[in-house]
């Protein structure tokens, strides 16, 4: 893999830390601001919705910029947003700062995915995307547990200051390693690109992504209270268990990319089915500390095994038209799923049967994603037959 791919991985690492570290700090933030756990969970939803808005808008606004300039500008926004999180005086300002940070997320991964696939041969495109997204998995293995530990010992604000420093390092690595490229991030006209994305086949791919990741985040958002209140762990055990989750992410991400290169459609279906089964098993097995640790790793593997296949599926369905915009929309779809999942988990906790039933409700989302993917595949088959 080209060295430039690992510069994209560095940027993905920084963004991944700020997106996911809040999960390990929910109890600290809720106690500091005097809000409920479900309200603290909305900080994940707010971030995700910021990605949903920022991805298509910033991709369109920066379409004529050189790709390297786009990536560096987005990292600057990321740094400013995290610094604002560290000094937020109240819950509302923290929410606004999280949304500001999120604006850079979707376009970075959208443009980065297109850059990544352009650096390798045709038969390694999904693997290239997986390598870039390894930054997210590394963020979970190293950044999230360390950030949680920092927050528990020095306060959650110290965590966001540390993430700000991570962003500065990532910006310098991108500046050094990503080659200068004067080509625009997206050479096409955004109106025609948008028309291509609004095709039924692409929209169904985006819906599949939303539903699949809603299931992951319905559980992952509340992983800390689930481990302490259902599995019986102390707060100090959360960080080591997040390491297990992060190890699962690495395995699932790379395996999903390899399998997608061999058979994309089968991998999309297979990873979604496995994800639904793992979520159902969490409902059954999280009451035991031993099985909880095993299932935390399985959730990471099953959740991230879907990422590269779903991203590549949407890119392939865009048929080469507006791939930067399609890629950004799919990153927005992942994060819309995050927002829906975090919200749905909060509803189950506050207005439903309670925290223990969140995984069972979460399993319904990837199950529904399988149905949508089957519908999309059937439409594709009819289109091919008609031709």
Residue 383: pLDDT band (50, 70, 90) is low
Residue 60: pLDDT band (50, 70, 90) is confident
Backbone angles phi, psi at 65, to 5 degrees: -80, 150
Backbone angle region of 212, left / alpha / beta, with phi > 0 → left and psi within -120 to 50 → alpha: alpha
Percent of the chain with pLDDT over 70: 93
Residue 36: pLDDT band (50, 70, 90) is confident
Residue 358: pLDDT band (50, 70, 90) is very high
In this structure, are residues 39 and 159 in contact, taking their beta carbons and an 8 Å threshold? Answer: no
Residue 378: pLDDT band (50, 70, 90) is confident
Distances from the Cα of 134 to the Cα of 248, 373, 374, angstroms: 12, 25, 28
Indicate the range of 199-203, 256-260, 278-282, 295-299 predicted with least confidence.
199-203
First and final C-alpha spacing in the chain: 37
Mean pLDDT of 8-26: 84
Question: Greater confidence, 1 or 268?
Answer: 268
DSSP per residue over 258-327, as a string? HHHHH-HHHHHHHHHHHHHHHHHHHHHHTTSHHHHHHHHHHHHHHHHHTHHHHHHHHHHHTTTTTHHHHH
Average pLDDT of the chain is: 85
Burial 200-235, CB ≥16 within 10 A → b, else e: ebbbbbbbbbbbbbbbbbbbbbbbbbbbbebbebee
16: its two tokens: 């991944």
Mean pLDDT of 29-48: 86
Burial bucket for residue 329 (CB in 10 Å: 0-12, 13-18, 19+): buried
Dihedral of the alpha carbons of 183, 75, 253, 283, in degrees to the nearest 10? -140
- Angle (CA) 92 246 47, round 5°: 20
Q: How far apart are CA 194 and CA 375, in angstroms?
A: 22
Q: How far apart are CA 359 and CA 357, in angstroms?
A: 6
Burial 59-76, CB ≥16 within 10 A → b, else e: bbebbebebbebbbbbbe
pLDDT score, position 292: 95
DSSP per residue over 54-65, as a string? HHHHHHHHTTTS
pLDDT score, position 299: 94
Mean pLDDT of 159-176: 88
Distances from the Cα of 97 to the Cα of 28, 78, 87, 219, 286, angstroms: 18, 10, 10, 24, 34
Q: Which of 250, 287, 256 is nearest to 269 (CA)?
A: 256
Q: Which domains are assigned to the chain?
A: 3-386 (1.20.1250.20)
Residue 368: pLDDT band (50, 70, 90) is very high
Beta pairing partners, 184 = 66
Judge whether residue 281 has pLDDT over 60: yes
Residue 184: pLDDT band (50, 70, 90) is low
pLDDT score, position 321: 53
pLDDT score, position 323: 66
pLDDT score, position 283: 94
Q: Which of 115, 146, 116 is nearest to 129 (CA)?
A: 116
In this structure, are residues 362 and 341 in contact, taking their beta carbons and an 8 Å threshold? Answer: yes
Residue 361: pLDDT band (50, 70, 90) is very high
Indicate the range of 206-220, 234-248, 260-274, 307-321 predicted with least confidence.
307-321
Judge whether residue 66 has pLDDT over 80: yes
Percent of the chain with pLDDT over 90: 30
Q: Could you report the per-residue pLDDT of 221-272, keeping only the tens digit for each?
A: 888 889 999 999 988 888 788 888 878 888 888 898 889 888 988 999 999 9
Q: Could you report the per-residue pLDDT of 327-342, keeping only the tens digit for each?
A: 778 878 887 888 899 8
Q: Could you report the per-residue pLDDT of 91-143, keeping only the tens digit for each?
A: 999 999 999 998 888 788 878 877 777 777 777 777 787 788 788 777 777 77
Judge whether residue 386 has pLDDT over 60: no
């Amino acid at each position: 893999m080209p060295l430039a791919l690992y510069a994209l991985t560095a940027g993905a690492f920084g963004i991944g830390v700020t997106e996911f570290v809040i999960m390990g700090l929910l109890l600290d933030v809720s106690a500091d601001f005097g809000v409920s756990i479900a309200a603290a969970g909305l900080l994940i939803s707010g971030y995700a919705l910021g990605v949903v808005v920022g991805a298509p808008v910033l991709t369109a606004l920066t379409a004529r910029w050189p790709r390297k300039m786009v990536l560096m500008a987005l990292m600057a926004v990321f740094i400013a947003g995290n610094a604002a999180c560290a000094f937020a005086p109240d819950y509302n300002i923290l929410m606004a700062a999280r949304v500001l940070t999120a604006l850079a997320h979707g376009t970075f991964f959208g443009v980065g995915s297109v850059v990544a696939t352009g650096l390798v041969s045709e038969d390694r495109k999904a693997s290239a995307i997986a390598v870039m997204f390894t930054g997210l998995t590394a963020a979970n293995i190293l950044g999230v547990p360390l950030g949680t530990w920092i927050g528990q010992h020095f306060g959650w604000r110290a965590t966001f200051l540390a993430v700000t420093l991570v962003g500065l390092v990532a910006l310098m690595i991108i500046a050094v390693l990503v080659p200068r490229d004067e080509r625009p991030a997206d050479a096409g006209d955004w109106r025609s690109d948008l028309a291509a994305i609004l095709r039924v086949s692409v929209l169904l791919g985006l819906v599949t992504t939303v539903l699949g990741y809603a299931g992951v985040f319905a559980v992952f958002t509340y992983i800390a209270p689930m481990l302490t209140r259902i599995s019986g762990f102390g707060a100090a055990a959360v960080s080591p268990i997040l390491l297990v989750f992060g190890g699962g992410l690495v395995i699932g991400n790379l395996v999903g990319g390899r399998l997608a290169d061999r058979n994309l459609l089968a991998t999309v279906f297979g990873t979604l089915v496995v994800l639904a089964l793992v979520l159902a098993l969490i409902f059954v097995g999280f009451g035991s500390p031993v099985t909880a640790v095993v299932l935390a790793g399985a959730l990471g593997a099953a959740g991230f095994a879907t990422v590269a296949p779903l991203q590549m599926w949407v890119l392939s369905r865009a048929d080469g038209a507006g791939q930067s915009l399609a890629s950004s929309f799919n990153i927005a779809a992942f994060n819309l799923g995050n927002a829906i999942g975090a919200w749905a988990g909060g509803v189950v906790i506050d207005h439903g049967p309670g925290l223990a039933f969140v995984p069972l409700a979460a399993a319904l989302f990837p199950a529904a994603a399988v149905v949508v993917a089957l519908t999309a595949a059937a439409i594709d088959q009819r289109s091919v037959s008609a031709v």
